Amino acid sequence: MQNHDSPPNPNSRRQSYKPAGMSPSVLKLLIFLLSSISSTLASHRHIITIPSTVPRPAGFTWDPTAQHFVVGSASHPIIFSISDAGVAETIVSDPFISSISSISIDKRRRRLLVAFSNPNTLTAYDLRSPRPHSRIFSSSLPASPGGIAVDPATGFIFVTGSDTGVIWRVDLEGIVSDFSKSAIYGGEGLVGVAHVRKGFLLVVQGKMGTVFKVDEESGAAKEVIGTNGSPAPEVSGIAMMADGAAVVAGGTGVRMVQGRDGWSEAAVTGEVKVGEGKKFEGVAVREGKSAYVLVAPAKEVGGGDSGSRIEEVEWEEEGDLLVLMVLVGFGLAYFLYWRFQMRELVSNMNKKRA
């Protein structure tokens, strides 16, 4: 006979209260959101390995018409095209080629412009001619060249002096003339130059990365960013983005520089460092929106070029970081709320037992 007056078993009561943990649906949603933003922030950089058939890569640009990169060699009289798949093909083979300083493309006239430091010359090649492309002209320069920029409207070529503070202008026929010898350069070498559509040049020094704005008509120069902000020694080049920002690369870093008030002044808004044992040899902008750098070993290994590659620059997006912080905050708030609910549940259970 069952005894209805017997006291209840406390173990059975304890088993009937199961802590209600975090809702599975909300947990899945949180995990999905965190996974999504993590995937967004993950690296998706475009990296092209330069094949060993390109010895000691030097000089670097993007050809928007042919849709490939152009890379020279510091030790062989050859200039190569590099596809997205890393396939290298010879586009120029010229015994005149020696040590390449920089390469640029005159898109409108389909000319490949190459600055050599031994001998000091600027040479133009006809990209419309069959490969290897034929030479249009070769002009002697007064000193070792640095960077090259082209005014697409006039076809004038601007070449900086890498060992001295001077800029030369070369016309369509290859005639060289002095353009800018401003005292503001302080006699320091100018290694990079970029043409800006508003009628001026941006020129960068090699040792400390000082950027100057140079009037395209008068050659007058003005410093827009000095070395007291974010110095970048051993700068090798500068390129313009479609939105008007400049990318300055060289040594172990690449900087995003934004101009203000028509580039009357500027500031560094982003910076990326290269890995240990590597250095940036040049910078190019693809389709106006993606910056790429030529990365090479800091020291030659056995006289080779092991590890040379072309890398897309990946800038940190503040918006993505903000979203991640919001999601983490949401997860933390939900966890604290869940802990509070569990504490209330345990407290109620203890009261019922009492």
Residue 301 confidence (pLDDT) above 80: no
Q: Are 70 and 77 in contact (CB under 8 A)?
A: no
% of residues, the chain, pLDDT over 70: 72
Q: Which of 7-11, 44-48, 185-189, 284-288 has the lowest mean pLDDT?
A: 7-11
Query: How far apart (Å, rounded) are the C-alpha atoms in residues 337 and 294?
Result: 51
What average pLDDT does the segment 37-63 reach? Answer: 79
The maximal CA–CA distance of the chain, rounded, in angstroms, is: 119
CA dist 291 and 192 (Å) reads 15
pTM over 0.85: no
Q: Whole-angstrom Cα distance, residue 322 to residue 105?
A: 39
Task: With a cut of 90, say whether residue 174 has pLDDT above it.
Answer: yes
Q: Are 105 and 128 in contact (CB under 8 A)?
A: no
Asked if residue 129 lies in contact with residue 112, where contact means CB atoms within 8 angstroms, the answer is no
Q: For residues 245-268, b (16+ Cβ closer than 10 Å) or e, as one string?
A: bbbbbbbbbbbbbbbeeebeebeb
Structure tokens at 295: 């990365």
Q: Taking a C-beta distance cutoff of 8 angstroms, is the pair 157, 163 a contact?
A: no
Predicted confidence (pLDDT) per residue in 226-260, tens digit: 755 445 557 889 999 999 999 999 777 889 999 99
